[in-house]
Amino acid sequence: MIAIGCDHGGFELKNILVKYLEAEGYEYIDVGTYDENSVDYPDIADKLCKKIQNGECEKGILVCGTGIGMNMCANKHKGIRAAQCHDTFSAKMTRQHNNANVLTMGGRVVGSELAKEIVREFLTNSFLGYRHQNRIDKMMNLENMAKIKSTDLTLLLVWDYLWTVMVFHLHLIHFLATKTNSQL
């Protein structure tokens, strides 16, 4: 299952690509947007990437004006490897070497016939594995390291807060105990 999405800048090209997917017999989910009204591309990128993360879709195609905003947003999602391709060679290589699972393109940059060829390369080529798998593992490790660092910071802040609360209560108990003793 292929997920496809766009903002207003990619709306025209997305419609052409949807027809292309249909003609080629691909099953797809269109996550929007569904008209030319202005929308925020991060919302669409997020919607599409979640479909890949939860296994509903295997690959995705995102189109905005330049493809860049969609690409940046998609690559902020764990497990997403989004490739911006405006030529067929890159589309083929990013499948074979990078195991890209999202293709991003600019509807205001690339012509519709070329875009269809790019999609064809992206959807028909497979990951080669072997030495490339090692590199993908390293890439995914970078993502995991970034995650661990932010989790560590959260734990540190929680620990700091709990420690402050505990010290405050100890002082309070000490103060109350001293006060009570002096009144006896």
Catalytic positions are 64, 97
User: Of residues 21, 49, 61, 64, which one binds ligand RB5 by CB under 6 A?
Assistant: 64
**Beta strand 59-64 with 102-106: parallel, antiparallel or unpaired?**
parallel
Residue 155's region, left for phi above 0, alpha for psi from -120 to 50, else beta, is alpha
**Residue 95 β-bridge partners:** none
Smaller CB separation from ligand RB5, 99 or 107: 107
Shortest distance (Å) from residue 152 CB to ligand RB5: 32
Comparing C-alpha atoms, which of 58, 63, 68, 67 is closest to residue 99? 58
Q: Is 60 in the site for ligand RB5 (CB under 6 A)?
A: no
Q: Is 32 in the site for ligand RB5 (CB under 6 A)?
A: no
- State the residue number with the nearest CB to ligand RB5: 69
Distance from C-alpha of 19 to C-alpha of 136, rounded to nearest angstrom? 32
Smaller CB separation from ligand RB5, 62 or 119: 62
Q: Is 42 in the site for ligand RB5 (CB under 6 A)?
A: no
Instruction: Compute how many residues bind ligand RB5; rule: CB under 6 A.
Output: 8
Distance from C-alpha of 119 to C-alpha of 17, rounded to nearest angstrom? 8
Distance from C-alpha of 67 to C-alpha of 19, rounded to nearest angstrom? 20
Q: Report whether 28 contacts 18 (CB < 8 A).
A: yes
Smaller CB separation from ligand RB5, 2 or 64: 64
Q: Is 41 in the site for ligand RB5 (CB under 6 A)?
A: yes
Q: Is 1 in the site for ligand RB5 (CB under 6 A)?
A: no
Q: Is 5 in the site for ligand RB5 (CB under 6 A)?
A: no
User: Of residues 66, 90, 101, 104, which one binds ligand RB5 by CB under 6 A?
Assistant: 66
Distance from C-alpha of 18 to C-alpha of 10, rounded to nearest angstrom? 12
* Residues found near ligand RB5 in the complex (CB under 6 A): 7, 9, 41, 64-66, 68-69
